Amino acid sequence: MGGMIRALVVDDEPLAREGLKLHLVQQKEVGIVGEAGDGRRAAALITSLKPDLVFLDVQMPTLDGFQVVEAVAATWLPTIVFVTAYDQYAIKAFEVHAIDYLLKPFTAERFAAALRKAREEIAARGSHDSRRRLLQLIAERAGAAAHLQRFVIKSGEGYRFVPAAEVASFEAQGNYVRLKTGKGQHLLRITMAELEKRLDPRRFARIHRSTMVNIDRIKEITPAWHGDFEVLLTDGQRLRLSRNFRDRLLP
């Protein structure tokens, strides 16, 4: 490909942006056209500058990296190299869709490999399927966003918000569900069946007709009796995994 590759650097950490720029200035065929420290600014710059290549942080304020892509896709979709601290869900998504990413902290060799792949994608614009894979990933992420991300809990005269990721377990109590976090527990007016429909199945699993757990909070699973198992959570809770639900967690 002839001509200069116009690159935009996006990360909410100034030191991370500087690190990316230090790598890029060593590349004669790459010119840095701008930088952004949050998602809204990134989307505005991508739309106005129309860069060829964007190094895009996943975890950012205002809009995360996926939301930035969603915001600009209809106007201008450059070649994207995602940059992320360890995020198992983002990384799994990238690998499933064969989308390149840099895991912080990355080496010069890893950066060079990502840039080499990006060059190939830019050179093949219009015929490469990277755009299709990226749009498919964004569509799946948008669908996942329909899952409950937080719970509104009455607290005295007001309300407080509990992020779903902070919940360790849910226990059915009639038409209510008891939500437990490391800081306490709260009652939600919802049935277990309805709650299960509205939670992300990649993050929460039904282990008993009256119990659901946050998969990330599971410390170990050990055999119990009659085909059941005991699930130990990181907060010390010991819960029963019924044999009827064992396929939700075990092979």
Cα angle value 56/131/89 (rounded, 5°): 55
Structure tokens at 163: 């992020």
Question: Do 17 and 130 belong together in one domain?
Answer: yes
CB 171 within 8 A of CB 208: no
Main-chain phi, psi angles of 75, to 5 degrees: -100, -55
pLDDT at 49: 96
| CA distance linking residue 179 with residue 185, whole number of Å | 5
pLDDT at 206: 95
Query: How many domains does the chain contain in total?
Result: 2
Q: Which of 144, 169, 204 is the last residue of a domain?
A: 144
Q: Tokens 């840095």, residue?
A: 32
Q: Which of 102, 120, 144 is the last residue of a domain?
A: 144
pLDDT at 156: 74
Q: Tokens 């209809």, residue?
A: 74
Below-70 pLDDT ranges, the chain: 1-2, 126-128, 143-145
| CA distance linking residue 83 with residue 95, whole number of Å | 14
Question: Do 111 and 184 belong together in one domain?
Answer: no
**Residue 170 sits in which domain range?**
150-248
pLDDT at 145: 67
CATH of the domain at 111: 3.40.50.2300
SS3 call for 237:
coil
